[in-house]
A and B are shown apart, each in its own frame.
Chain A
Amino acid sequence: MNNFPILKRQVYGNKLIYLDNAATTQKPEIVLQAMDNYYRDYNANVHRGIHLLAEEATVAYEKVREQVAKFINAESEEIIFTKSTTESLNLLAYSLTQNLKKNDEIILTVMEHHSNLVPWQQLAKQRGLVIKYVPIKTNGELKLDTFNKLLTKKTKIVSLTHLSNVLGTINPIKEIAKKVHSFGATLVVDAAQSVPFMQIDVKELNCDYLAFSGHKMYGPTGVGVLYGKKTLLEKLPPFLYGGDMIEKVTLKETTFNTVPYKFEAGTPNIAEVIGLGAAIKFLQEENINTIKSHEEELTKYALKELNKINSLTVYGPQKRGPLISFTIKNVHPHDITALLDKDGIASRAGHLCAMPLLQELNVDGVIRVSFGVYNTKEEIDFFIKSLNKAIKVCNGN
C-alpha cells in the first residue's frame, strides 16, 4: 500500500513487515498531512478565541466529533474526546462508581486488557465494591452460561472487551446488552481492537458506553474516544476539572458545561483529534467491510500456515478478529520476536497487558501477530519462513 510512508523503510536491510497492528497501526499520508496542516495553517486553541484561526480550529475539531458520531452511528453530543481507551475507561470507572453502594457488583471477564481491569479493581477497593469475572472456555470464548449466573440484582456495571487483544475472540455484545439491561445494569464496551476491524453501530449493539483509541485505527496516538448515551452522560459526574468543562465559576462553587464538554477539561489534543478525523476518512474510503474481509482472509491463511508447525500452540477461537497469539514449545517468545525483528518483521511478545488471562492460559508470555489493511499474503509467507528459521535457531545445538 503506497499511502503509508513508513512502510517504505528498511529494517536491518529487509523490507518492513509490520505485524504489530493490535499494539498500534501505521499512519497513512492523509493523517500526517491533516495534522501538519493544522500546525502550519490554523493552529489555535478551540472553543475560546474570537479570531479566525481559533474559529477554523474549532470548526475542524467539532467536525471530527460529527465524523466519529456518524462512524459509530451515535449523536455528536455523545462523543467525548479523551487521550486513549485507557483514559476513557478510567473516566468511567471513576465516575460510574461514585454513587454505588458497598458490596454492589461489577462484572468483568478474565480476557480483559489491564486498562479494562485495573481501573475497576482499584475503584472497587476504594469503594468496597465486589468484582466478579466471567471465565473462558478452552476455545477462548466467554462462558456465557456462567455470565448469566453471575448477573444478579446486585450487578451495577458490566464492562468487557468487544475483541480480545490476546485471543481475537469477538464477544456477542448485542446479546450481552439485552441481559445486562434486563437487570438494570450499565454496559461498558472496550472497542479498541474492534473499531478498526468491523462496522460498529452503537445503537444496534445497545451498549451504554464504548471506548476506543485513535492510534489503533490508523490515526495518531494521544486521542481516544468515549461514547456514552446522552441521557446517561448528562447524569454522569465529571472526571477531570479545569477549563472548558465549566459553565460558571465563583470562588465558592462551579457549575459544569453541558455534554460532551463537561468531560473535556483543559486544552484538548487538537491536532490528534484532527488526525483522527482523517483516519476515519481513510477507513471510510477503504470501506470498513472490505478491510474486514481482507484481514479475515489474512488471519485464516496465517492460522492455516501456523497450524502446520508441530511445536506451536495457537490460543483463541477459529472465528476471530485479525490477530493470532501463540507459543512454541520450549522456546521463549522474546527470543522468537527478536529473531523475527532481524528479518524486518515487527511482532509482539509478552503478556500483552493481559496478565490474568495468561495466568488462565497457564503461560508466561505469547507471541502475537496482528494484521492491518496494508498486510499481504506474501508477507505472511515470509513471516512463516522466518518463524521456522527462528525456531530452528532456538532449538538447534
Chain B
Amino acid sequence: MEIKEAQELLSALPAREQLEALIDYGKQLKEFSETEKKEENKVPGCVSTAYLTVEVKENKVYFSGYSDALTIKGYLAILINGFNGMNVKEFLSTAESIVKEFITKTKLQASLTPSRANTLGNIIAIMIKKVRQQV
C-alpha cells in the first residue's frame, strides 16, 4: 500500500478512530527476526523499543522493523509498506517530503504525545541514513 493511501484513509478519521487505525496497521507489520533485535538496529530517540534494518537489492530498498508499541509498529508498517521496493535514488530524493506531507495531512503529530511526535521523523531519518550507508 502506498503512503498516500494510508494518508488519505487516516486524514478522514476523527482522532480516536485514527489511532485505532494506526494500531491496526501495527498489527499487520510483518515479523521481525529475533537475531536482528540488536543495539545497532535500534531506533534512537524513540520512547518505546524499536528496531529497523534495511537491505538494498538490485538498486531497490527493502526495510524490516519492529517495536514493542503498536502505535510505533503502525508507523513502521506504513513506512515499510510504502517504501519497500522503491528505487534507491527515488527513495533518497522523495522520502523526507513524503513523510512530511503525511504528518501535515494526517495531523498525527497533534494526536500523539510530543515525545512521540518526533518518532516518525526519527524513523525516516534512520531509514535514509541506513540506505545512504549501503549505497
* Partner-B contacts on A (CB < 8 A): 12-13, 332, 334-335, 337-339, 342-343, 350, 364-365, 393-394, 397
Contact = CB atoms under 8 A, between A and B. Distances in A.
B122 to A, nearest CB: 15
Contacts of B19: 338-339, 342
Nearest to B26: A335
A397 B16 contact: no
A343 B14 CA distance: 12
A393 B22 CA distance: 11
Given A334-B72, A335-B23, A338-B112, 6 more contacts: A13-B14, A334-B48, A338-B111, A339-B20, A342-B16, A364-B49
7 contacts: A12-B14, A332-B48, A335-B71, A338-B111, A339-B19, A339-B20, A350-B47
A338 B111 CA distance: 8
A335 B47 CA distance: 11
- Closest 3 pairs (CB-CB, A-B): A332-B69, A342-B16, A335-B70
Given A342-B15, A342-B16, A334 B23 contact: no
Contacts of A338: 19, 71, 111-113, 116
B132 interface: no
A338 B49 CA distance: 16
Contacts of B49: 364
B27 interface: yes
A342 B21 CA distance: 13
A334 B116 contact: yes
* Of A334, A364, A397, most B-chain CB atoms within 10 Å: A334
B31 to A, nearest CB: 15
Given A12-B16, A332-B70, A335-B71, A394 B48 contact: no
Contact of A394 (B23, B47, B112, B113): B23
Interface string B119-133: 000000000000000
Contacts of A364: 49, 68
A393 B16 CA distance: 11
* Of B23, B27, B72, most A-chain CB atoms within 10 Å: B23
Interface residues of B, number: 19
Given A393-B23, A394-B23, A334 B16 contact: no
A334 B69 contact: yes
Interface in B64-112: 68-72, 111-112
A343 B19 CA distance: 12
Given A364-B49, A393-B23, A394-B23, A335 B15 contact: no
Nearest to B116: A334
A335 B26 CA distance: 11
B98 to A, nearest CB: 24
A4 to B, nearest CB: 23
Nearest to B49: A364
A338 B117 CA distance: 12
A337 B19 CA distance: 11
B71 A334 contact: yes
Contacts of B20: 339, 393
A47 B107 CA distance: 49
A56 to B, nearest CB: 39
B47 A334 contact: yes
A70 B68 CA distance: 49
A343 B23 contact: no
Contacts of A397: 27
B66 to A, nearest CB: 12
A343 B113 CA distance: 15
A12 B69 contact: no
Contacts of A393: 20, 23
B113 to A, nearest CB: 7
A343 B15 CA distance: 10
A361 B111 CA distance: 30
A217 to B, nearest CB: 24
A397 B49 CA distance: 22
Nearest to A331: B70
Contacts of A342: 15-16, 19, 111
* Of A337, A343, A365, most B-chain CB atoms within 10 Å: A365
A116 B131 CA distance: 42
